[in-house]
Chain A
Amino acid sequence: MKDMVEGYTTPDGRQIGGVLMELKNITLRFGGVVAIKDISFDIREGEIRAIIGPNGAGKSSMLNVISGFYVPTEGEVWFHGQKRPAMRPYQVARLGIARTFQNIALFDGMSVLDNIMTGRLTLMKSGLLTQAMWWGKAAAEEDEHREKVEKIIDFLEIQNIRKTPVGRLPYGLKKRVELARALAAEPKILLLDEPMAGMNVEEKEDMCRFILDVNDEFGTTTVLIEHDMGVVMDLSDRVVVMDYGRKIGDGPPDEVRNNQDVIDAYLGVAHE
């Protein structure tokens, strides 16, 4: 219990806080298919938590459970020390959980700036009508939001594509825009679904730097799914390893690396 409140210190000297979200005995079934089987782990404030595993292990389903897109068949999600009831995804978003998608989900026809502005949606107070009229409070509010968005643009170094329609951007930049949009929501937990899939080495390095910087600068708790083991081992503070919907390992990267189950899962052993 003491550990729950106090947290720990990472090897590079960052102080990780108490438990922000706890997943208790989550099971997720689609008809007869069991995607997640009785998984429990926690996410602490300020840490970078990775979920890894072979294809079809249930990583993305896990992320969807966290983001409220799937309601677990069994088990509980505790957030900020309270049990989270079944919610619509937008309600979860309002709680401060933002995400990026494995296959980019941006508005292709809109500019980068507008796309990122949509990330502020949950934080906008004025109603649809006043916003449409762009009158009174709404105008002042937009300025405020724009300022925040510009800071994120500056942070992610995408000033040069600010006004470019997203559809015209290369893949790597789209990923970065998606990260920007997620950041614009000022999330408490940032969920990244394969942020580095399909990138070249240089783009990967950039992305890594941004993820670390985001964590460092804003103290955002980050949960990421990634296939690139090098990236995961470098970035994350603690790793959850999944295989066939079960959790087979959990702990700091070094510990996970030496876990026999994990090695078996990745190198392959015959399943009886």
Chain B
Amino acid sequence: MADHGVAERSAQSIPALLAHNVERLGNRPAYREKEFGIWQSWTWAEAADEIRAMAMGFLSLGVERGDHIAIIGRNRPAHYWAMVAAQMCGAVPVPLYQDAVAEEMAYVLDHCGARFVVCGDQEQVDKVVEVEDRIHHIQHVMYTDKRGMRKYDHARMNALEDIIAEGKAGHFRYEGEIEKRVAELNYDSTCVMLYTSGTTGKPKGVVLSNRNIIETAKNSAAFDHLGPDEDVLAYLPMAWVGDFIFSIGQAMVAGFCVNCPESPETMMTDLREIGPTYFFAPPRIFETMLTNVMIRMEDAGDLKHGLFKHFMEFAKGTGEEYGMPRYRVQRSKPTLRRRLRWAYRFSMGIGFAVETMVENAVRLAFVRLRHPMEHRKFFKAKGPLLNIYPQPLRDYFNYRTGDVTIYAPLKNTLGLSRIRVAYTAGEAIGPEIFEFYRSLGINLKQLYGQTEASVFITQQPDGQVRADTVGVPSPGVEVKIADNGEVFYRSPGTFVEYYNNPESTASTKDAEGWVATGDAGFFEEGTGHLRIIDRAKDVGKMADGRLFAPKYVENKLKFYPNILEAVVFGADRDRCTAFINIDLTAVGNWAERNNIAYASYQELAGHPRVYEMIREHIDEVNASVAQDPMLSGCQIHRFLVLHKELDADDGEMTRTRKVRRNVIAEKFADLIGALYDGSTSIYTETEVTYEDGRKGAIKATLRIEDATVAPEAQPNREAAA
């Protein structure tokens, strides 16, 4: 452990870890930020001085123990420092989402009772000023960016750098107080309070203690062998628990450098310049990156395009084996056993090569004896020179060639050259996307987590990575599956409570510390990997008692670019059916290339060839669902392509584009009825709301088609019952 720089046991708070890092890594970079086109960096010692001065500045403003200090802004070192400085004062940092509107911000500021607010820039200050007359407990507002702030009333407002200067000036007065307050911090004191995004109801303030953060960070840093030489790019919202764990928890524990981009728009360039070794991104970012690559490859010349196609095809099977970065665990001193294995493999390689060459030489000699004048006609060494090597060695050489021509330049362009560990989480990632990055030799893995768990519940160990699971329980985390399939966990990272909300705390966390995730899943037999199938409340039973997980099937469908949305029905029915929404961009593009004329969305959606294409997709999904013994009942028997896009304005989806099942079931009851009564077409009228609030109706006759149902692997009704 000590090798990887995991902090000592004695450090029981973030400020203590910071002091430890100053001792251990004093002159190594701790923070970098691009400003004025140059990466500015701060060593651990410099950062610690700034943080200390800021903490003393906070004291001079009158920050008390237990105060809440709200922090609103983009990822900047100063904001991370403000969080640690708050902890030094015994106060609790509360990072907020910077894109929240003033109303949402008002709720959170009011709920946590923040007396001090640190704002990133004028925009955030404006929002705070807007709600200030309603929230009377705000005493002082600080801001990092001075631009445009000159005209404000500065009676209760200061630039953060002035606060730091104030702290530096008054350090004789505050030194003792700071020492005292830092010494009071222990494993049970609150480290940070993070608000859930509040998709259901009001946001809740999750209180996380030092134990939660530090234990989780230690375990996860050890799991992936994170050390002081990692680089991360801090670009995710600071209010999100993941950013806190990566950029403060793990950074402090492992002692690595946190890099902040110049502005949100420059994130991709900065990513490339920094080349992080440890990276987290939601699937959406990986999707966007891949789409950009594909679009640019379409425009590339024939040679490049050909090389790209050839080597990406080749990498699909081989990248996993030959492309992955060496796992750090193997970097330790090689044992005799491993040396012997290398020596054996190496000599076998040479041996095979020599043997093949000798064999060819011998055969050539015999052929020459028999046909002295025209031996070339009768003898050909098999293929090019590479073919004399055994297959694995050939693949290895091929992969290296691909690496030089395609993979390495591509990774460099994406800024992923140095990645040792990358994670994605939050929602399901398309298997093709996942495979693309893996085959390039990027160690992209999945994890499953929650704010309440300090992120980590399960994660995938190196070498056991698959697109359809979320991995094994993280170190120190216990996971159990309830009878209804819901996933429960218990870990050192489990949150203390919801702030000022004992009812919610009690309903989420039981007396033994088990927390309900609200997701349904199961452990795969054999591998012990957890698979998440759906939100627990959406998982139901079919009429014959088999498990029905609509989201699982819908996600599989939505991985096809042609399908924008899918809604699967089947709860308490004998078979599943589906509504499909086509993606107008993708299908429109396809129609154009195939000379299919259409005048409207409705016409395109009802086109026989579109139906044909969608049916092919559904057949493929059925085949893949059939492979799964638990969920084989969810194959789609009949489907129709909807004549309108599901829309938030019509209440069919939430604003975050999540399908509202009950609304749809009610609104399209006639269509669902037709899906089950065997009719082949149905006439329907649907009310729609236009963007300006007017209402209208769409009339259409929809066709209903059957999909091919694949034979089920082995129905496992026991598991579902």
Q: Is A159 in contact with B265, judged by CB distance below 8 angstroms?
A: yes
- Give B19-36 interface residues, CB cut-off 8 Å to A: 35-36
5 interchain residue pairs of minimum CB distance: A150-B36, A160-B265, A160-B266, A150-B37, A159-B262
Q: Is A162 in contact with B37, judged by CB distance below 8 angstroms?
A: yes
- Give A150-198 interface residues, CB cut-off 8 Å to B: 150-151, 153-155, 157, 159-160, 162-163
Q: Is A157 in contact with B263, judged by CB distance below 8 angstroms?
A: yes
Beyond contacts A150-B38, A160-B262: 8 other A-B pairs, Cβ-Cβ < 8 A, are A147-B36, A154-B35, A157-B263, A159-B262, A159-B263, A160-B269, A213-B148, A216-B148
Set of chain B residues within 8 Å of A151, measured between Cβ atoms: 36
- Give A106-165 interface residues, CB cut-off 8 Å to B: 146-147, 150-151, 153-155, 157, 159-160, 162-163
Nearest A residue to B145, CB-CB: A154
Picked from A13, A163, A213, the residue with its CB within 8 Å of the CB of B147 is A213
Set of chain B residues within 8 Å of A13, measured between Cβ atoms: 151
Picked from B37, B148, B150, B151, the residue with its CB within 8 Å of the CB of A159 is B37
Set of chain B residues within 8 Å of A157, measured between Cβ atoms: 263
Nearest A residue to B263, CB-CB: A159
Set of chain B residues within 8 Å of A147, measured between Cβ atoms: 36
Complex CA distance for A162 and B35, rounded to whole angstroms: 13
A217 interfacial by beta-carbon distance below 8 Å = yes
Complex CA distance for A157 and B145, rounded to whole angstroms: 13
Tell me the A residues contacting B by CB distance below 8 Å: 13, 146-147, 150-151, 153-155, 157, 159-160, 162-163, 213, 216-217
Q: List 9 A-B contacts (CB under 8 A).
A: A151-B36, A153-B37, A155-B147, A159-B263, A160-B263, A160-B266, A162-B37, A213-B148, A216-B150
Complex CA distance for A213 and B122, rounded to whole angstroms: 12
Q: Is A154 in contact with B36, judged by CB distance below 8 angstroms?
A: yes
Tell me the B residues contacting A by CB distance below 8 Å: 35-38, 147-148, 150-151, 262-263, 265-266, 269
Picked from A159, A213, A217, the residue with its CB within 8 Å of the CB of B266 is A159
Set of chain B residues within 8 Å of A162, measured between Cβ atoms: 37
Complex CA distance for A151 and B150, rounded to whole angstroms: 18
Complex CA distance for A176 and B436, rounded to whole angstroms: 38
Complex CA distance for A260 and B226, rounded to whole angstroms: 75
Set of chain A residues within 8 Å of B269, measured between Cβ atoms: 160, 163
Taking the closest CB of chain A, its distance from the CB of B464, in whole angstroms, is 38
Complex CA distance for A159 and B36, rounded to whole angstroms: 8
Nearest B residue to A152, CB-CB: B36
Nearest B residue to A212, CB-CB: B148
Taking the closest CB of chain B, its distance from the CB of A79, in whole angstroms, is 28
Nearest B residue to A155, CB-CB: B147
Nearest A residue to B267, CB-CB: A160
Complex CA distance for A154 and B266, rounded to whole angstroms: 12
Which residue among A150, A154, A160 has the maximum number of chain B CB atoms within 10 Å of its CB? A160
Set of chain B residues within 8 Å of A159, measured between Cβ atoms: 37, 262-263, 265-266
Taking the closest CB of chain B, its distance from the CB of A237, in whole angstroms, is 16
Set of chain A residues within 8 Å of B265, measured between Cβ atoms: 159-160
Complex CA distance for A65 and B147, rounded to whole angstroms: 34
Complex CA distance for A74 and B573, rounded to whole angstroms: 92
Set of chain A residues within 8 Å of B148, measured between Cβ atoms: 213, 216-217
Taking the closest CB of chain A, its distance from the CB of B194, in whole angstroms, is 29
Set of chain A residues within 8 Å of B35, measured between Cβ atoms: 154
Nearest B residue to A14, CB-CB: B151
Complex CA distance for A157 and B262, rounded to whole angstroms: 10
Complex CA distance for A163 and B265, rounded to whole angstroms: 13
Complex CA distance for A269 and B569, rounded to whole angstroms: 69
Taking the closest CB of chain B, its distance from the CB of A24, in whole angstroms, is 35
Taking the closest CB of chain A, its distance from the CB of B530, in whole angstroms, is 39
Taking the closest CB of chain B, its distance from the CB of A142, in whole angstroms, is 13
Set of chain A residues within 8 Å of B38, measured between Cβ atoms: 150
- Contacts A150-B36, A154-B36 given: A217-B147 contact, CB under 8 Å? yes
Set of chain B residues within 8 Å of A216, measured between Cβ atoms: 148, 150-151
Taking the closest CB of chain B, its distance from the CB of A221, in whole angstroms, is 18
Taking the closest CB of chain B, its distance from the CB of A128, in whole angstroms, is 25
Complex CA distance for A147 and B148, rounded to whole angstroms: 21
Complex CA distance for A160 and B265, rounded to whole angstroms: 6
Complex CA distance for A163 and B263, rounded to whole angstroms: 15
Complex CA distance for A216 and B122, rounded to whole angstroms: 14
Taking the closest CB of chain B, its distance from the CB of A176, in whole angstroms, is 13
Nearest A residue to B35, CB-CB: A154
Complex CA distance for A217 and B151, rounded to whole angstroms: 11
Nearest A residue to B146, CB-CB: A217
Set of chain A residues within 8 Å of B147, measured between Cβ atoms: 155, 213, 217
Nearest B residue to A160, CB-CB: B265
Complex CA distance for A151 and B147, rounded to whole angstroms: 12
Taking the closest CB of chain A, its distance from the CB of B153, in whole angstroms, is 12
Nearest B residue to A147, CB-CB: B36
Taking the closest CB of chain B, its distance from the CB of A156, in whole angstroms, is 11
Which residue among A154, A162, A216 has the maximum number of chain B CB atoms within 10 Å of its CB? A154
Nearest A residue to B37, CB-CB: A150
Nearest B residue to A217, CB-CB: B147
Complex CA distance for A151 and B38, rounded to whole angstroms: 11
Set of chain A residues within 8 Å of B266, measured between Cβ atoms: 159-160
Set of chain B residues within 8 Å of A154, measured between Cβ atoms: 35-36
Complex CA distance for A151 and B37, rounded to whole angstroms: 9
Complex CA distance for A160 and B37, rounded to whole angstroms: 10
Complex CA distance for A162 and B150, rounded to whole angstroms: 28
Taking the closest CB of chain A, its distance from the CB of B323, in whole angstroms, is 30
